[in-house]
Chain A
Amino acid sequence: MNPTTRTWLLSDAPQTRRQARLGALYQGWLTFRANKLAMLGLVILLALLGIAAFAPWLAPQNPLAQDLAGRLKPPSAAHWLGTDALGRDILSRLIYGSRVTLFIVGTVALIAPVIGLFIGTVAGFAGGWVDQVLMRITDIFLAFPKLILALAFVAALGPGIGNAVLALAITSWPPYARLARAETLSIRNADYIAAARLQGAGRLRLLIGHIWPLCISSLIVRVALDMAGIILSAAGLGFLGLGAQPPMPEWGAMISDGRTYILDFWWVAAMPGMAIFIVSLAFNLLGDGLRDVLDPKGAKE
């Protein structure tokens, strides 16, 4: 980056709105970059994205190709991470599995906060009995044992990766709703909302145009911090056989397959476990760093 751009970004007196916004982003990036652990998380996740995108080129073998004669082989030059019970190459399965993981995390991270945002802001903005009813529903879902609720949904919808994602989304929206409601309450009576109202803005327009944007940044932090939990939950569902279906190389299901062989062929369960651990750690590191940048109040708290 050339020095002029840098000065322009860091200017104390931005000339335009755009300059101010970009400047703030850049400031945030500087703070974030100083956090080595967070950077490590970011690098791991970028690598994961790369792996998922280029899986067909990176995977040494077909992740579905079976070889019953060469099953349960320990890590070697031919199979860097060994082979599983059906003789499939574990490394290739992990590489393709990264797509599944990203799909799950990405989809849940899109659905759950949107449901939560909608319910929370409507409750906070409308107040009265709407608020009471919506928050009571939120409380009911919060009081549910979550894995069991997710299990019940998957059992009701039928096992499968799509339904697992849906079940996770359905069970993880309540905290977002609470957060969004709290944010809404704190800005509902702010002057500029009143000003917008005076200008004749409808309720819907106020909600979408003014309240939602203000809730989003704290939701994003929360989502980043929840990603690891979502990965672990999805793996848990896979472990119970209710997530991804064979032969899809989902990591949790791979652990579940491997636990039969854990005493003599530890790598079958250990490798996908390591993969889950590394990725969810990366998300946590990233989320922790993001919190410092986007939500200084939360970081202090």
Chain B
Amino acid sequence: MAHPDMMAGPGARPPSARRGARLGRQLRGVAGVLLSLALTLLGLLLVTFIIGRVMPIDPVLKVVGERATQAQYDAARLAMGLDQPLWRQFLTYAGQVLHGDFGRSISTGHAVTEDLRRVFPATVELATLGTLIGVCAGVPLGVIAAARRGRWIDQIARVVALIGYSMPIFWLGLMGLLLFYGILGWIGGPGRQGIIYDGMVPEVTGMILIDSLLSGDWGAFRDTFSHIILPASLLGYFSLAYISRMTRSFMLEQLSAEYITTARVKGLSERRVIWGHAFRNILVPLVTVIALSFASLLEGSVLTEIVFSWPGLGQYITKALLAGDMNAVLGGTVLIGTCFVVLNIASDILYRLLDPRAA
């Protein structure tokens, strides 16, 4: 799975047709899909819960503070239900989650759902723009590299992609911020928008780019754009690396197929062969790759968010984790896990719907 912070590499594989078919056999119908989703999420919840409880960070301390007396401490512990046996704590928690109540975050003092509603759009906005950049640059690059296999442009595409995989993104972010904001002053600084625009745009979607457009506030839009462009480009570069490599692989597979040879023999122009025939045939797996890349940007921009003071989900979970704020960690993890699983399943379904061979 591609992932800007973690685990990525050119070895990340596309979901193959084989896997799609296998999944198809496994999950008979919607019920199966839902059951699998529920099981995975329950597992996710359980694992996070256990980690949270064995972690040597005491959430009570965060609530009562450094000066608390033992009596205050004990009272808070009781109020948080931490005196109950673990299994009962988990059941209580899981019951609340079923009712859509993720509890209250001890590090922000707000309901977790309220926090998530605030931080998630920031992450979605960043990941979406990043993926857009990755697609717009990565797909043409991959197609061209495949068409000119072994030539200099292919080598360049390879190096560009490998550099993208090799760059510590947080470091690149620091250096980029220094250069483009600090020295050149071309872009907005850390954060989602200029501070004087803070709270000026009426909130509709929570994605400020869209909200400012909806309200027709061009100043705010330009300001927001100048803040998002650098972090989005960095994430976009990462996603470009993955998408371009995958596009190239898919294209090479198609270009070696018989029907391409036939088309060439028939005298079709190279351009039509590549874009009209081969490219059209890789659209389906490509959509899957893009969906996965999007999912990985959603979950994987923790360090980018930290470097750019981006008040997104990754930063929210990390902070909560280090403060022992398990309600927030659980809520955030379940949200990301849901996105990941849903995108995965959706891309598999799409795959089966669109690809005749897998059916």
Query: Do the two chains touch directly in the complex (Cβ atoms below 8 Å apart)?
Result: yes
Would you call A37 and B158 a contact (CB within 8 A)? yes
Structural contact, A151 and B11, CB atoms closer than 8 A: no
- Are the CB atoms of A284 and B171 closer together than 8 Å? no
A135 to B306, CA, bound (A): 33
Q: Is B249 in the interface zone, CB < 8 Å from A?
A: yes
Chain B residues lying within 8 Å of A89, measured Cβ to Cβ, are: none
Q: Are B174 and A144 in contact (CB under 8 A)?
A: no
Q: Mark B27-55, 1 if CB is under 8 A from A, else 0.
A: 00000000010011101100110011011
The residues of B that contact A227 with a CB separation of less than 8 Å are 9
Question: Once bound together, how far apart are the Cα atoms of A300 and B13, in whole Å?
Answer: 12
* Contact of A10 with B by CB under 8 A: no
Query: A93 at interface (Cβ–Cβ under 8 A)?
Result: no
Task: Check B57 against A171 for contact (C-beta < 8 Å).
Answer: no
User: Are A136 and B303 in contact, CB atoms less than 8 angstroms apart?
Assistant: no
A147 at the interface (CB under 8 A from B): yes
Contact across chains for B249 and A301 when beta carbons are under 8 A apart: yes
Give Cα distance in the complex from A284 to B162, angstroms.
Answer: 6
A281 at the interface (CB under 8 A from B): yes
What sequence of 0s and 1s flags, for each residue 201-217 of chain A, a beta carbon within 8 Å of any chain B beta carbon? 00000000000000000
Q: Say yes or no: A288 contacts B55, CB within 8 Å.
A: no
B314 touches A148 (CB 8 A): yes
Could you say which residues of chain A place their CB within 8 Å of the CB of B170?
Answer: 236, 239, 255
CA–CA, A226 and B16, complex, Å: 19
Q: Which of B90-98, B259-267, B270-278, B332-340 is the interface stretch?
A: B332-340
**Which of B6, B14, B162, B182 has the most chain A CB atoms inside 10 A of its CB?**
B6
Give the docked Cα–Cα distance between A150 and B51 (Å): 11
Q: Does A59 contact B (CB under 8 A)?
A: no
Cβ-neighbour of A147 out of B6, B16, B155 (below 8 A): B6
Known A136-B39, A236-B303, A240-B318; judge A171-B7 contact (CB<8 A): yes
Question: In the bound complex, do residue A255 and residue B171 qualify as a contact, i.e. CB atoms below 8 Å apart?
Answer: yes
B3 at the interface (CB under 8 A from A): yes
A141: chain B residues within 8 A (beta carbon): 47
Contacting pair B165 A140 (CB below 8 A)? no
* Most chain A CB inside 10 Å of its own CB: which residue of B40, B165, B253: B165
Query: How long is the Cα–Cα vector from A187 to B56 in the complex, in angstroms?
Result: 45
CB-nearest residue of chain A to B182: A263
Question: Given A140-B44, A156-B55, A221-B11, A235 and B333 touching (CB < 8 A)?
Answer: no
| Interchain CB contact under 8 A, A259 and B167 | no
Q: Judge if A142 is at the interface, Cβ distance under 8 Å.
A: yes
Q: B208 near A: Cβ within 8 Å?
A: no
Contacts of B47 in A (CB 8 A): 140-141, 144
Complex CA–CA separation, A84 to B169 (angstroms): 22
* Residue of A with least CB distance to B320: A148
Provide the residues of chain B in CB contact with A240, threshold 8 Å: 303, 306, 318
B217 to chain A, nearest CB (A): 32
Q: How large is the interface on A (under 10, 10 to 19, 20 to 34, 35 or more residues)?
A: 35 or more
Q: Tell me, in angstroms, the Cα distance from A156 to B51 when the chains sit together.
A: 7
A147–B303 contact, CB under 8 A? Answer: yes
Q: How far is the CB of A120 from chain B (nearest CB, A)?
A: 14
B268 at the binding interface (Cβ < 8 Å):
no
**B190 CB → nearest A CB, Å:** 12
Interface SS of chain A: helix
Question: Is A160's CB within 8 Å of the partner chain B?
Answer: no
Task: Let me know if B284 is at the binding interface, CB within 8 A.
Answer: no
Task: Name the residue on A nearest B338 (C-beta).
Answer: A143
The reply to whether the CB of B348 lies closer than 8 angstroms to some CB of chain A is no
Residues of B within 8 A of A263 (CB): 178, 182
**Residues from chain A with Cβ under 8 Å of B223 in the complex:** none
What residue of chain B has the Cβ atom nearest to residue A241's Cβ? B322
Residues from chain B with a CB closer than 8 A to the CB of A252 are 168
A155 touches B57 (CB 8 A): yes
- Give the residues from 176 to 225 in chain A that come closer than 8 angstroms, CB to CB, to chain B: 179, 182, 221-222, 224-225
Which B positions have Cβ atoms within 8 angstroms of A? Answer: 1, 3, 5-11, 13-14, 16, 18-19, 36, 39-41, 43-44, 47-48, 51-52, 54-57, 155, 158-159, 162-163, 165-172, 174-175, 178, 182, 249, 252-253, 256, 299-300, 302-303, 306, 314, 317-318, 321-322, 329, 332-333, 336-337, 340-341
Q: List 8 A-B contacts (CB under 8 A).
A: A136-B43, A140-B43, A226-B11, A227-B9, A229-B7, A284-B166, A300-B256, A301-B14
Residues of A at the B interface (CB closer than 8 Å) are 37, 136-137, 139-148, 150-153, 155-156, 158, 171-172, 175, 179, 182, 221-222, 224-230, 232-233, 235-236, 239-240, 252, 255, 259, 262-263, 266, 269-270, 273, 276-277, 280-281, 283-285, 287-288, 291, 298, 300-301
Per CB-CB distance, the 10 closest pairs between chain A and chain B, nearest first, are: A225-B11, A140-B43, A273-B171, A281-B166, A145-B299, A225-B9, A280-B166, A143-B337, A146-B6, A156-B55
Q: Identify 19 new A-B residue pairs, CB closer than 8 A, beyond the known A145-B317, A151-B321, A228-B166.
A: A136-B36, A139-B36, A140-B43, A145-B300, A148-B332, A151-B318, A151-B322, A228-B9, A233-B5, A236-B5, A263-B178, A269-B174, A273-B175, A277-B166, A277-B168, A283-B166, A284-B162, A285-B162, A301-B16
